[in-house]
Amino acid sequence: MPNPREELIREALAAEPDDPLVHFVAGTFYAEEGRHEEALEAFSSAVRLNPDYSAARLGLARAYAALGEDDAAREAYRAASEVARAKGDLKVRNEADAELDALDEF
């Protein structure tokens, strides 16, 4: 039986394919489900639609990290931090910086 949340997300994506928030919600759902490749695709779409979407950039970095793509994750964490700093989004900036530091420790 399909997941009701996933069905709603699919419907929202079909109805609003150019809405970065819908792609962000999809990415968050997929990440929570451990479906990191699908999360990566959804967060990539959100960032493509809105390059200043710092939370989507952070989600993208986390998806790369979960897939073991450390170089891409580092680049995405840096981009998330830069965008967040420019927007004054301290929460995303601090999370991106901390997760980048943790990635670099390994």
How much is the pTM? 0.94
Predicted pLDDT of residue 105: 84
Q: CB count, 10 Å around CB of 72? A: 16
| 3-class state of residue 64 by DSSP | helix
What 36-41 contacts at long range (C-beta under 8 Å, 24+ apart), as own/partner pairs, is 36/63, 36/66, 36/67, 37/63, 37/67, 39/63, 39/66, 40/64, 40/67
> Hey, what CATH class is 4-104 in?
mainly alpha
- Taking the chain (106 residues) in consecutive chunks of 10 residues, what is each chunk's mean pLDDT? 88 97 98 97 98 98 97 98 97 97 86
